[in-house]
Amino acid sequence: DEQSSKRPDDIAHESESNSRLAMLAELGIALSAEKKLSTLLGRILSEGRAMACCDAVSLFLVDQSEPDNPQLKFMLAQNASIDFPFQEKKFSLNDGSIAGYVAAHGAELNIDDAYHIDPKAPYQFNRSFDEEMHYRSVSLLAIPMMNHREEVIGVLQFNNRTRTAGVILNRLDEVHEHVVPFDEGTKVVLRALASQSAIAIENRMLIESIKRLFDGFVQASVAAIEQRDPTTSGHSFRVADLCLKLAEVMPMSKESRFRDYQFSSRDLTSLRYAALLHDFGKVGVRESVLVKPKKLTAHQYDVLRYRIRLTQEYMRRQALEKHLQIVKQGGGDADIRLVNAQAEDEIARLDEFWQRIQNANEPSVLPDGYFDHLREIRQLSALNAEGEFMPLITDKQHLALSVPKGSLTD
């Protein structure tokens, strides 16, 4: 039959191709379902290394955050033969490096020996990793990842394809024995992988961008809400923090209906947004209804301000009259300076008391010790409109100003 007439090499090649196609199909489904970008990138590298039967693979993403200075971000790398501390890096997107050339031109590079690149080529292999880790890169394949607009969003770079899977390249002789160039069949599969990866990465980045945009909208909404009533500034964030802490400890509750209940990551995100926006209705509420009233009526406040200013003006005139008396009695400048200093102290004292009255008039929490200041103010007298000295604040006003929190008395 047809199967028996095939050569063993053809059968092996067909089996390998079918296996790769199956892996591609499974990977495409997995990549579209993956929600976390870091996990997605790791999956791409692991599956790509298995499909290519290679020792190492790296992934770079194009960073266009500065349009005038595009960069290439080294996002992730895997190497079966050596363990190494990976660190994300950024470098200029130009023709000098292999990944940079591929990203800049959207061109694939298949290099049989990374150490023997034509000196006239604009790109060269960076040996710093090999020298530091005592590694030897030979065969290399760099493929651009293109989005639906034919724009390069990243580069997949495969190193050291081996004849058989699972070979560890610890010595130079092992490298020369097992490493082979990337053949056409492998390149076809890896191009398909790069295409699938580009779609999955861009989708994930788009979703994360939408999440950041929505989070920014929520933050802006909270800021708008809190501007309506500055006395409760920070309230929405405190409610959100408290709700998340309650959700965290809920599984430890003694109530059977709450015990062992676990919130998912999505639940916690929804809870946070709901808590932040719980006062969103304030946006449509009239100012007169929304904002907590002051403790004194507007008329009482204006009368107090008028009486303090009137008393301060009276003190200035008293000081001038004393100046005239000093001059008539033959006094000197020292006496006049003393009178001025006394008057300025009294006027400043009234300014200080007026500031305390203003602070106490706000529907906010009064700090400790403020009630002593209010009792001191209660003992003051000031001029009224008839030119008579009367207590600065009445008992009723003193009671209102002494409310420790809010603006309501009993």
pLDDT tens track of the chain, all 410 residues? 444 555 555 555 556 666 767 777 777 777 777 777 788 888 888 888 988 899 999 999 999 888 888 899 999 999 999 988 888 889 889 999 999 999 999 999 999 999 999 999 999 999 999 999 999 999 999 999 998 888 999 999 999 999 988 889 989 999 999 999 999 988 998 998 898 889 888 888 888 889 899 999 998 888 888 877 766 778 889 999 999 999 988 888 888 888 778 888 889 999 999 999 988 877 777 665 556 677 778 888 888 888 888 888 888 988 888 888 888 888 788 888 898 899 899 889 888 888 888 888 777 666 666 667 777 777 878 777 777 888 877 778 877 787 766 555 55
CA-derived radius of gyration, the chain: 39
What's the token pair of residue 106?
């959207």
DSSP 293: P
Query: How do 179-180 and 152-162 pair as beta strands?
Result: antiparallel
User: Which pLDDT score, from 0 to 100, does residue 370 have?
Assistant: 67
φ, ψ of residue 154 to 5 degrees: the values are -175, 180
Residue 379 CA to residue 357 CA, distance in Å, equals 14
Strand partners for 63 = 71
Query: How far is Cα of residue 267 from the mean position of the Cα atoms in its chain?
Result: 20
Residue 115's contacts (CB-CB under 8 Å, 6 or more residues apart) are 125, 127, 136, 137, 138
DSSP 375: H
Residue 272 CA to residue 275 CA, distance in Å, equals 5
Residue 229's contacts (CB-CB under 8 Å, 6 or more residues apart) are 282, 290, 291, 292
Strand partners for 280 = none
* H/E element, 130: helix 128-133
Cβ contact 155:44 at 8 Å: no
| Residue environment code for 53-64, b if the CB has 16+ CB neighbours within 10 A, otherwise e | bbbbbbbbbbee
Residue 108's contacts (CB-CB under 8 Å, 6 or more residues apart) are 102, 141, 142, 143, 144, 187, 191
CA distances from 66 to 62, 63, 71, 72, 120 (A): 11, 8, 8, 11, 31
User: Which pLDDT score, from 0 to 100, does residue 242 have?
Assistant: 94
Cβ contact 346:384 at 8 Å: no
